[in-house]
Amino acid sequence: MKRSGVADLPLHGGHVPPWLAERMTLLGTAISESVLYHYGAPELLSRLSDPFWFQALGCVMGMDWHSSGITTSVMGALKRGLNPRAHELGIYVCGGRGKHSRKTPDELRAVAERESLNGDELARTSRLTAKIDNNAIADGFQLYLHSFVVSKSGEWTVVQQGMNEATGLARRYHWHSATVRDFISEPHTAIVGESVYAGSIMNLVDSRAKAAQAALLEIARENPERTLREVPRLTMPAHHDVREKDIDLKRLGAVLAMAHEKQLRDFANLLLLENLGPRAPYSLWH
């Protein structure tokens, strides 16, 4: 089983000029078509999930080799180039940056209807991969781009990127359905990267985090008023990012009330709760 991977990049602003966007669309489409013709859709998805191949693809297409913009520009170019021919090529690119990422579930349901796939399952997978990288892994990066590439057979690759404005870095995360055995236990196979916190990266989907998952589910089932009474007593270590002043009691209370009402039995469903942000799991954990 291969690691899908993580890449860290300098965070750059600005926009790709129209002439370069057109060039990237033409080249990205041609390269993808060649891979599809010679090796098939599973190989293209596998290569897109490889951070080194993805980075090389962006360079060949004409983007700055070390820029965070390589992720946005490559996925945007592939979406523009591949989707109009999806019925022929059997590959669909959904989602994107900002507001486009929030359209991913609807886009996936439309693809599923066209190709007789399970749209609800694909939409759930889209949300879950985003929730895991944004909320279950405390590495200091908040997602702003989510792209979901799916074949007509239902195999998929997710490419998403988070930013940390304080350090001026972006981090790209790659997923491939062929390597995922359990979404809440080592779905990435490995997480490799420097933590922007003083301590280690905290990974709630690590195989060793089962006790933490069980504890969070137990808290979620309790009366939320009891849990909220404990918050003022929290003593946070100086090196940790989440402190008492950072906790939005109103929002946390709403999430706890919803969790209590649903009596969740699965950690994945806890992560999928509406309005559950990255700080809620860690404020409860500590």
Residues 192 and 225 in one domain: no
State pLDDT tens for residues 54-113: 989 999 998 876 677 889 999 999 999 999 999 999 999 999 999 999 999 999 999 999
Domain assignment present for residue 185? The answer is: yes
- Note whether 103 and 191 are same-domain residues: yes
The residue range of the domain holding 266 is 207-285
Q: Are residues 198 and 264 in the same domain?
A: no
Structure tokens at 122: 């694909």
* pLDDT score for 252: 66
- In this structure, the answer to whether residues 127 and 151 fall within a common structural domain is yes
pLDDT band at 195 (very low <50, low <70, confident <90, very high): low
**Structural domain count of the chain:** 2
| pLDDT tens digits for range 222-248 | 877 776 666 555 555 554 444 545 555
Same domain as 173, residue 96: yes
Higher pLDDT, 66 or 49: 49
pTM as predicted:
0.83
Can you tell me the distance from the alpha carbon of 265 to that of 54, in angstroms, rounded to the nearest whole number?
A: 37
Among 203, 235, 257, give the residue marking a domain's end. Answer: 203
Q: Are residues 10 and 106 in the same domain?
A: yes
Give me the mean pLDDT over the 187-202 stretch. Answer: 61
Instruction: Tell me if 239 is assigned to some domain.
Output: yes
Q: Taking residues 186-214, what's their average pLDDT?
A: 73
Same structural domain for residues 163 and 48? yes
Of the chain, the percentage scoring pLDDT greater than 70 comes to 77
At 121-147, the pLDDT tens digits run: 999 999 999 999 998 988 888 999 999
**Does pLDDT of 199 surpass 60?**
no
Pick the last residue of a domain from 178, 203, 228.
203
Q: Are residues 69 and 29 in the same domain?
A: yes
Q: Does one domain contain both 124 and 26?
A: yes
Mark whether 221 and 129 lie in a shared domain.
Answer: no
Q: Is 53 found in the same domain as 135? A: yes
Task: Report the C-alpha gap between 238 and 217 in whole angstroms.
Answer: 26
Is the predicted pLDDT of residue 1 greater than 50, yes or no?
no
Residue 114, classed as helix, strand or coil, is: helix
pLDDT score of 3: 46
C-alpha distances out from residue 141 to 9, 71, 236, 258, Å: 12, 15, 21, 26
Tell me if residue 148 falls in helix, strand or coil: strand
For residues 241 and 197, membership in a common domain is answered with: no
Taking residues 31-46, report their average pLDDT: 97
Mean pLDDT of all residues belonging to the chain: 83
Instruction: Categorise residue 154: left if φ over 0, alpha if ψ from -120 to 50, beta otherwise.
Output: left
191: closest CA among 7, 52, 11? 7
Residue 176 lies in a domain: yes
Closest CA to 58 of 23, 83, 90: 23
Alpha-helical regions (H) of the chain: 18-39, 41-48, 51-61, 69-82, 86-89, 104-115, 119-131, 210-221, 224-230, 249-262, 267-271, 279-285
- Separation CA 135–CA 205 (nearest Å): 10
- Picking from 203, 229, 249, the residue at the C-terminal end of a domain is 203
